[in-house]
Chain A
Amino acid sequence: MRNVALALAAAIVLWLGVAMLAPAWLTSGDPLATQTSAVLLPPSAEHWFGTDQSGRDVYTRVVYGARDSLLVGLRAVAIAMVCGGLIGTVAGVAPRWVDRIVSRLLEVTMAFPEFLLALLVIAVLGKGANSVALGVTVAIIPAYVRLARVTARQLRFSGAVDAATILGVSYPRAVWRHVAPQVAAGLLGLGIVGFGSAIVTAAGLSFLGLGISPPAPEWGVMMSEGKNQLARAWWITFFPGLALAATVVAVSTLARPLQRRLATGNAHD
């Protein structure tokens, strides 16, 4: 049962990977091609996910939309892992007063939820794909700082750093050797899960009309366009949303065994 779920999740992730890199392998259609004779057709053998109000094939658009929808999450998570990891680790191993300042600032960021922070960035920069990308990144960084800080602080006071210090290893080197790899593993684990929520946030912002503009086949934009047709054509909004939900479910399912492996740093357990 567990293995079936893992295999299914792996298949979904593989499908997404192909859709991002080589969408033409999965569909022969053009995501932007309109066809006035095939407007608002329900799902069928010819149009698996139906067609939208301009007669575009929804399946083709979902496939081509993977790149824009997922890349923004990948980029945000990668940047957050690096920046958050650095700030958090430094705070965790630094003298007490530095840590105190950083942890106070972190406490304060709790009062401004991720979605609000992303909205604020967009308020400053104006609408657009880049604002959304930056907004999502800024919004998720505090979580990464928090994790890196806690992990680094714990390891700092575990015996491994003490042992190295007694052996004559310099403090920065001891931190690099005994703290940094564990922090990185923890961040990677958070990143895998965080990727899911990052793409949902980004798609949500696009859905609200703050990101990429139509007719780009981004999943959030597709749903935004389709919501006016909800009474007549549920499939226009349903399938892009399903793709998004399936991505998050698949990634979370794969994340658990991966995180367990990352924690000890080796495979033969």
Chain B
Amino acid sequence: MTLSARTRTALRGAARFLGEAGLVLWAAVTLAFLVLKAVPGDPVDVMLGPLSSATPEARAMIRADLGLDKPLPTQYASHLGRMVTGDLGMSYQQQRPVSDILTEQLGATMALAAAAMVLAVVLACGAALVTRRGWLRGVADATELLAVSAPVFWTALVLASVFSYQLGWFPIVGGTAAQRVILPAIALALPVAGVLAQVLRHGMDQAESQPFAVTAMARGASHRRLTSHHLMRHGFASTLTLSGFLFGSLLGGAVIVETVFARPGIGRVALGAITNRDLPVVMGVVVFSGIGFLIINAVVDVLARAVDPRLRKAADA
């Protein structure tokens, strides 16, 4: 079989991605299984809740129904099998398929995360480009440190206190969808923007200290040209290593922000499931998290290769 080098590279990239995706999904599903098995006590008790008065016969039937009377490897195999077909099980609490519950809530969380992401990128780029030198730089450094350090639930509460209760600009209840998303998105965006701005500026500073920046200036380039034609690209390239951090901040932050602002979404469902020990829903969140991570990773990977061609070579080696 003769393939062009380009096709081979593309195939290799696809194989790598599929391999990683399979690994992550397998890990998510296995983790979910382990969580289910690690819970102390009888899962049927957990499922029925402490107030249930089911007879031992009924319990045995449920157990057989769920396959809990079979040996562990068999249970694991059937668990894997169900996951592969997209069956995440039934919620103990709501008696509805987990996949339905989660897909219903996905839109709200995605809208929040997307709004936060856009906001964070705008804030970070603005801060990094405007405040490269002088006294503004000191102000930006301090602001970013605060944004990165302040807990999301605190900024969320402070924002709600000032803008919802004191000023009444963004009511917690009522208002348009856009009005309702603004404060949660800001709360979620601030720490992300802080880290992005720090990394972006650091990347640009690093690039500026490299000999190629001196070379560009020696060609007669102005500072503006140096920034726009050389440094910015390096700054962006350095932010693309942050995909894991971004994903974690957005997902972890969503749990908190959705609770503070009483918004629907995956985070709120996850919290409810953990509080009520609705394990199938918890497992579903784990699997969704794995898929979400894979998607973000793939997008960032494509972006990174577009910005930094050295990565293409490194991935082929």
- Whether A230 contacts B248 by the Cβ 8 Å rule is no
Q: Which residues of A contact B151 (CB under 8 A)?
A: 200, 203-204, 241, 244-245, 248
- Whether B286 contacts A116 by the Cβ 8 Å rule is yes
Within the assembled complex, what's the spacing in Å between the Cα atoms of A245 and B285?
A: 29
- Which of these binds chain B: A27-35, A72-80, A103-111, A181-189? A103-111
Q: CB < 8 Å: which of B150, B161, B294 contacts A230?
A: B161
Interface residues of B in 171-189 (CB under 8 A from A): none
- Which of these binds chain B: A48-56, A84-92, A122-130, A172-180? A122-130
- Whether B153 contacts A245 by the Cβ 8 Å rule is no
Q: Which residues of A contact B23 (CB under 8 A)?
A: 104, 107-108
Verify if A112 is at the interface (C-beta below 8 Å from B): yes
Q: Which residues of B contact A234 (CB under 8 A)?
A: 158, 161, 165-166
- Which of these binds chain B: A60-68, A151-159, A163-171, A205-213? A205-213
Verify if B270 is at the interface (C-beta below 8 Å from A): yes
Q: CB < 8 Å: which of A123, A200, A230 contacts B279?
A: A123
Verify if A261 is at the interface (C-beta below 8 Å from B): no
Interface residues of B in 244-281 (CB under 8 A from A): 244, 247-249, 251-252, 255-256, 259-260, 270-271, 273-275, 277, 279
Within the assembled complex, what's the spacing in Å between the Cα atoms of A210 and B273?
A: 12
Verify if B97 is at the interface (C-beta below 8 Å from A): no
Of B149, B166, B270, the most chain A CB neighbours within 10 A belong to B149
- Whether A115 contacts B290 by the Cβ 8 Å rule is no
Verify if A214 is at the interface (C-beta below 8 Å from B): no
Q: CB < 8 Å: which of B35, B248, B252, B255 contacts A123?
A: B35
- Whether B35 contacts A223 by the Cβ 8 Å rule is no
B278-313 interface mask toward A, CB cutoff 8 Å, 1 = contact, 0 = none?
Answer: 010010011001100110000000000000000000
Verify if B27 is at the interface (C-beta below 8 Å from A): yes
B142-167 interface mask toward A, CB cutoff 8 Å, 1 = contact, 0 = none?
Answer: 00011011111110011011000110
Of B23, B161, B249, B273, the most chain A CB neighbours within 10 A belong to B161
Q: Which residue of A lies closest to B37 (CB)?
A: A124
Verify if A267 is at the interface (C-beta below 8 Å from B): no
A116-B252 contact given A252-B145, A252-B149, CB 8 Å threshold? yes
Of B154, B161, B270, B279, the most chain A CB neighbours within 10 A belong to B154
- Whether A124 contacts B35 by the Cβ 8 Å rule is yes
Q: Which residues of A contact B146 (CB under 8 A)?
A: 245, 249
Verify if B104 is at the interface (C-beta below 8 Å from A): no
Q: Which residue of A lies closest to B191 (CB)?
A: A200
Q: CB < 8 Å: which of B28, B145, B275, B279 contacts A210?
A: B275
Q: Which residue of B lies closest to A110 (CB)?
A: B244
Q: Which residues of A contact B148 (CB under 8 A)?
A: 252
Q: Which residue of B lies closest to A113 (CB)?
A: B248
Q: Which residues of B contact A108 (CB under 8 A)?
A: 23-24, 27
Q: Which residues of B contact A242 (CB under 8 A)?
A: 154
- Whether A107 contacts B20 by the Cβ 8 Å rule is yes
Within the assembled complex, what's the spacing in Å between the Cα atoms of A241 and B160?
A: 14
Within the assembled complex, what's the spacing in Å between the Cα atoms of A107 and B20?
A: 9
Verify if B3 is at the interface (C-beta below 8 Å from A): no
B105-142 interface mask toward A, CB cutoff 8 Å, 1 = contact, 0 = none?
Answer: 00000000000000000000000000000000010000
- Whether B270 contacts A126 by the Cβ 8 Å rule is no
Min CB distance A172 to B, Å, is 32
Verify if B38 is at the interface (C-beta below 8 Å from A): yes
Q: Which residue of B lies closest to A5 (CB)?
A: B142
Q: CB < 8 Å: which of B165, B260, B274 contacts A122?
A: B274
- Whether B274 contacts A119 by the Cβ 8 Å rule is yes
Min CB distance B265 to A, Å, is 14
- Whether B289 contacts A114 by the Cβ 8 Å rule is no
- Whether B286 contacts A113 by the Cβ 8 Å rule is no
Verify if B217 is at the interface (C-beta below 8 Å from A): no
Within the assembled complex, what's the spacing in Å between the Cα atoms of A11 and B166?
A: 33
Within the assembled complex, what's the spacing in Å between the Cα atoms of A234 and B167?
A: 13
- Whether B252 contacts A115 by the Cβ 8 Å rule is yes
Q: Which residue of A lies closest to B154 (CB)?
A: A241
Verify if A45 is at the interface (C-beta below 8 Å from B): no
Q: Which residue of B lies closest to A200 (CB)?
A: B151
Q: Which residue of B lies closest to A127 (CB)?
A: B275
Q: Which residue of B lies closest to A199 (CB)?
A: B151
Q: CB < 8 Å: which of A107, A116, A238, A248 contacts B289?
A: A116
Known: A241-B150, A252-B145. 10 other contacts (CB 8 A): A110-B244, A113-B249, A116-B270, A124-B35, A124-B38, A204-B256, A208-B256, A220-B153, A238-B158, A241-B154
A-B contact pairs, 17 of them (CB 8 A): A1-B138, A108-B23, A108-B24, A112-B289, A112-B293, A115-B252, A116-B286, A120-B282, A123-B273, A125-B40, A126-B277, A204-B153, A204-B252, A208-B271, A238-B161, A241-B150, A248-B150
Residues of B that sit less than 8 Å from A by CB:
20, 23-24, 27-28, 31, 35, 38-40, 138, 145-146, 148-154, 157-158, 160-161, 165-166, 244, 247-249, 251-252, 255-256, 259-260, 270-271, 273-275, 277, 279, 282, 285-286, 289-290, 293-294
The 9 nearest A-B residue pairs measured at CB: A115-B252, A113-B248, A241-B154, A248-B149, A111-B293, A108-B27, A245-B150, A234-B161, A231-B165
